[in-house]
């Protein structure tokens, strides 16, 4: 979604909230996700296209704050771990994620290793207050 | 059978750190199959979960426990086409959705 679309969506959501209501925004952080196999690093996903979407979202959120719709109150960072029974399943699933590509050197590493197969996705959770 | 798992414990811990959603009327945007919704819904006053993916909403409805049927509602849709009365929610939870 473009920044203008994000602002439009946030205006609609602001209208749905009671005065002083809470907006919680859970998003991947601006960092590529780490692939692990057997507890060892197997490479980083290529998320350049997705990072562009995230930048547009951040810009839109910033505009909504500048408009006085919301104020940022708190933000935490944490990891989400996606676990897969098989390396091939990891590749198939992740290849379907928007704006994410599995680099060519990762599948051979997964084939050579044992489970668990995991993707560690860095995330942020922001709490904003409707004004 | 192959399986994918994402455990909600870390998301729940993060939710708690930013104040949680206890006793609130919640709109969750991008609820998907309701994996995270079901983890926090019991502490809320009510939840409406929306997602544009019909298959994932169907899965969310299938896996909704009987004791949550009066508390949680899943609908196909997105923010722009959302038709809710003004001030209908205490909290909006955007889950990987903007």
List of E strands, chain A = 17-28, 34-37, 40-44, 70-84, 117-130
| Helix residue spans in B35-91 (DSSP H) | 37-40, 54-62
Mean pLDDT by 10 residues, chain A (131 residues): 82 94 91 92 92 86 94 94 93 91 96 94 94 95
Q: What are the pLDDT digits (tens) for B46-80?
A: 999 999 999 999 999 999 999 999 999 999 988 77
Q: How near does any CA of chain B get to the CA of A11, in Å?
A: 10
Q: Could you tell me which chain A residue has the CA closest to the CA of B8?
A: A80
pLDDT band, residue B83 (cuts 50/70/90): low
Q: What are the pLDDT digits (tens) for B4-40?
A: 677 788 889 999 999 999 999 999 999 999 999 999 9
For β-strands B4-6 and B25-29, DSSP reports them as unpaired
Indicate whether B97 pLDDT > 90.
no
Q: What is the ipTM of this complex?
A: 0.91
In chain A, residues with a C-beta closer than 8 Å to the C-beta of B12 are none
**What is the radius of gyration, based on Cα positions, of chain B?**
13
Please tell me the pTM assigned to this model. Answer: 0.88
B16: region left, alpha or beta (phi > 0 left; psi from -120 to 50 alpha): alpha
Cβ–Cβ of A82/B82 closer than 8 Å?
no
In chain A, residues with a C-beta closer than 8 Å to the C-beta of B15 are 24, 125
- From the list B3, B10, B92, the residue facing A17 with the nearest CB is B92
What is the reported pLDDT for B38?
Answer: 95
User: Three-state secondary structure along B3-15?
Assistant: CEEECCHHHHHHH
């Amino acid at each position: 979604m473009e920044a203008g679309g994000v602002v439009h969506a946030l205006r609609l959501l602001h209208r749905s909230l009671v005065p002083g209501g809470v907006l919680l925004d859970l998003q991947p952080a601006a960092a590529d996700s780490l692939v692990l196999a057997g507890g060892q690093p197997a490479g980083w996903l290529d998320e350049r296209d997705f990072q562009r979407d995230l930048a547009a979202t951040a810009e839109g959120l910033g505009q909504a704050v500048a408009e006085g719709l919301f104020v940022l109150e708190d933000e935490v960072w944490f990891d989400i771990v996606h676990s897969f029974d098989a390396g091939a399943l990891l590749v198939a699933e992740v290849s379907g994620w928007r704006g994410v590509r599995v680099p060519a050197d990762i599948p051979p590493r997964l084939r050579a290793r044992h489970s668990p197969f995991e993707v560690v996705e860095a995330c942020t959770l922001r709490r904003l207050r409707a004004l | 059978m192959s399986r994918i798992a994402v455990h909600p414990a870390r998301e729940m811990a993060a939710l708690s750190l930013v104040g949680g959603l206890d006793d609130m009327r919640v709109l969750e945007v991008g609820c998907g199959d309701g994996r995270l919704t079901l983890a926090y819904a019991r502490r809320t006053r009510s939840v409406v979960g929306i997602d544009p993916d019909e298959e994932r909403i169907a899965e969310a409805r299938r896996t909704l426990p009987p004791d949550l049927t009066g508390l949680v509602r899943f609908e196909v849709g997105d923010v722009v086409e959302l038709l809710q009365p003004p001030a209908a929610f205490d909290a909006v939870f955007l889950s990987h959705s903007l």
